[in-house]
């Protein structure tokens, strides 16, 4: 089985540009999570979905961040406009029900 797929794996962009990160969860998983990891803040939950519906977005840092899940097999995290402090590794994870989460390999974002 393919695990959680994220793209791109690396993204370098300039301040002010729009960034879109993509995630394909494991088939059959009904929960999807977006995390951000930095040295300063560690691992932070940004938002999670259950059956494609956003359940908790209290971790989204500000209005520049938005996430969508148009169907069970795809989700995006968008940052517009991006800022240097958004530089981090962004992880997507999925889980079958109220169980352990499976993480993707992450997208390393660098905003210059």
Residues that bind another protein (CB under 8 A): 4, 31, 33, 42-43, 45, 48, 50, 55-56, 91, 93, 98-106
- Pairing type for strands 53-56 and 107-111 reads unpaired
- Whichever of 25 and 104 has its CB closer to another protein, that residue is 104
Q: Which is nearer to another protein, 10 or 85 (CB)?
A: 10
Residue closer to another protein (CB basis): 74 or 102: 102
Least spacing, CB of residue 45 vs another protein, in Å? 6
Q: Are 94 and 74 in contact (CB under 8 A)?
A: no
Q: Report the alpha-carbon distance of residue 49 to residue 57 in Å, rounded.
A: 9
Question: How deeply is 39 buried, as exposed, middle or buried, from its count of CB atoms within 10 A (0-12, 13-18, 19+)?
Answer: exposed
Give the span between the Cα atoms of 44 and 38, in whole angstroms.
9
Minimum CB–partner distance for residue 38 and another protein (Å) = 12
CB of residue 111 vs another protein: minimum separation in angstroms?
20
- Please state the closest distance from residue 66 (CB atom) to another protein, in A: 19
Contact 111, 84 (CB under 8 A): yes
Nearer residue to another protein within complex by CB, 22 or 81: 22
């Amino acid at each position: 089985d393919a695990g959680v797929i994220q793209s791109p794996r690396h993204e370098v962009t300039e301040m002010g540009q729009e960034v879109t990160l993509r995630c394909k969860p494991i088939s059959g998983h009904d929960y999807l999570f977006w995390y951000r990891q930095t040295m300063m803040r560690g691992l932070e939950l940004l938002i999670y979905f259950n059956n494609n519906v956003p359940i908790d977005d209290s971790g989204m840092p500000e209005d520049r961040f938005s996430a969508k899940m148009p169907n069970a097999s795809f989700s995006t995290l968008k940052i517009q406009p991006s800022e240097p402090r958004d530089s981090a590794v962004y992880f997507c994870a999925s889980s079958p029900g109220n169980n352990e989460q499976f993480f993707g390999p992450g997208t390393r974002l660098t905003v210059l």
